[in-house]
């Protein structure tokens, strides 16, 4: 049997222990689902795709933020114990569910909102795969907004103003994107209050991103652009 402690409550609450049979190829999300189906029908948790695409199932698993759907129990278990908590640095809603709205707000703060530079009547910009700016953008583009990096970042937990790794990583992909109409504005926002300057390069984001992205590299890149100016891209 697996011993699973799950946080019940909101800010006030307690860990409740459950026992769940061990099976082959169990994910942490399977465990939560099993507890909810068979033992605790009103347990609140969130998931959708179950295959690491939607980014909705992240929780703190034995102290580390993870996608529960892609975390095999065998890889993350501590003895026979699993401790499941909501992601940190977000307002809690109930049990394992947090409110991601403030996290999504940070994307606006970092200028990480795409503005087209052309209309549907214009010819598309020609971008080659070996263009250096394109390569920069490609390195960070696969983010699925799961907030794992945000939750892992200690600066986010200390500094309410800090926009955090995900929003800045997105800003990084946009300042490198020839199709983005406001590259300069995005760079200015990413460098502004609560932006790149607050990052201490501790790399918790990169260490914990389940996609293997490196927000730290993007943030360092934005700082570089602050000194060197934006890279040249194809004109639309």
Partner 1 sequence: MANNRQSMRTHKSYFAFVGHRVSGLLLALFLPIHFLVLGLALEGADALNRFLAFSELPLVKAAEWGLVVLLAIHLLFGIRVLMLELTDWPNSADGRTAWIIPSVIAALLVGVIFLAQL
Between 181 and 203, whose beta carbon lies closer to ligand SF4?
203
Q: Which does 81 bind (CB under 5 to 8 A by kind): ligand FES, ligand SF4, partner 1, none?
A: partner 1
Q: Which does 220 bind (CB under 5 to 8 A by kind): partner 1, ligand SF4, ligand FES, none?
A: partner 1
Among 63, 91, 124, 229, binds partner 1 (CB under 8 A): 63
* Smallest distance from partner 1 to CB 221, Å: 8
Q: Is residue 219 within 8 Å of 204, Cβ to Cβ? A: no
Q: Are strands 97-98 and 92-94 parallel, antiparallel or unpaired?
A: antiparallel
Among 7, 18, 67, 172, binds ligand FES (CB under 6 A): 67
Q: Is residue 220 within 8 Å of 171, Cβ to Cβ? A: no
Q: Which does 52 bind (CB under 5 to 8 A by kind): ligand FES, partner 1, ligand SF4, none?
A: ligand FES
d(CA 196, CA 189): 9
Of the ranges 42-50, 116-124, 151-159, 171-179, which one interacts with ligand FES (CB under 6 A)? 42-50
Q: HSE, CB side, 13 Å, CA atoms: give it for residue 38.
A: 10
Per DSSP, the three-state class of 1 is coil
- Six token digits for residue 133: 């700016």
Among 6, 35, 55, 214, binds ligand FES (CB under 6 A): 55
* Smallest distance from ligand FES to CB 65, Å: 12
Q: Is residue 83 within 8 Å of 99, Cβ to Cβ? A: no
Q: Is residue 199 within 8 Å of 188, Cβ to Cβ? A: no
Q: Which does 195 bind (CB under 5 to 8 A by kind): ligand SF4, partner 1, ligand FES, none?
A: none
Backbone angles phi, psi at 146, to 5 degrees: -85, -15
* Smallest distance from ligand FES to CB 200, Å: 28
Q: Is residue 150 within 8 Å of 164, Cβ to Cβ? A: yes
Q: HSE, CB side, 13 Å, CA atoms: give it for residue 223.
A: 13
d(CA 90, CA 146): 12
Q: Which does 63 bind (CB under 5 to 8 A by kind): partner 1, ligand FES, ligand SF4, none?
A: partner 1
Per DSSP, the three-state class of 9 is strand
Asked if 196 interacts with ligand FES (CB under 6 A), we say no
Instruction: Using CB under 6 A, list all residues that contact ligand FES.
Output: 47-50, 52-57, 67, 69
Instruction: Using CB under 8 A, list all residues that contact partner 1.
Output: 5, 15, 62-65, 78, 81, 83, 85, 139-140, 152, 154, 200-204, 206-208, 212-214, 216-218, 220-221, 223-224, 227
């Amino acid at each position: 049997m697996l011993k699973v402690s799950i946080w019940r409550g909101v800010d006030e609450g307690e860990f409740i222990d459950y026992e769940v049979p061990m099976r082959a190829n169990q994910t942490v999300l399977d465990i939560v689902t099993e507890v909810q189906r068979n033992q605790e029908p009103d347990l609140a948790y969130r998931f959708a795709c179950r295959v690491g695409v939607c980014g909705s199932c992240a929780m703190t698993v034995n102290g580390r933020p993870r996608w529960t759907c892609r975390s095999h129990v065998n890889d993350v278990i501590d003895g026979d114990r699993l401790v499941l908590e909501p992601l940190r640095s977000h307002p809690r809603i109930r049990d394992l569910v947090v409110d991601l709205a403030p996290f999504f707000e940070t994307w606006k703060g970092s200028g990480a909102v795409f503005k087209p530079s052309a209309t549907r009547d214009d010819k598309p910009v020609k971008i080659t795969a070996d263009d250096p700016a394109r390569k920069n953008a490609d390195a960070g583009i696969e983010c699925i907004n799961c907030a794992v990096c945000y939750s892992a970042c200690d600066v986010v937990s200390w500094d309410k103003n800090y926009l955090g790794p995900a929003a800045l990583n997105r800003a990084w992909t946009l300042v490198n994107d020839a199709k983005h109409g406001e590259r300069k504005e995005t760079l200015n926002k990413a460098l502004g209050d609560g932006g790149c300057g607050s990052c201490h390069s501790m790399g918790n984001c990169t260490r914990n991103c389940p996609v293997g992205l490196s927000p730290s590299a993007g943030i360092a890149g934005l700082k570089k652009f602050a000194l060197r100016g934006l890279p040249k891209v194809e004109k639309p």
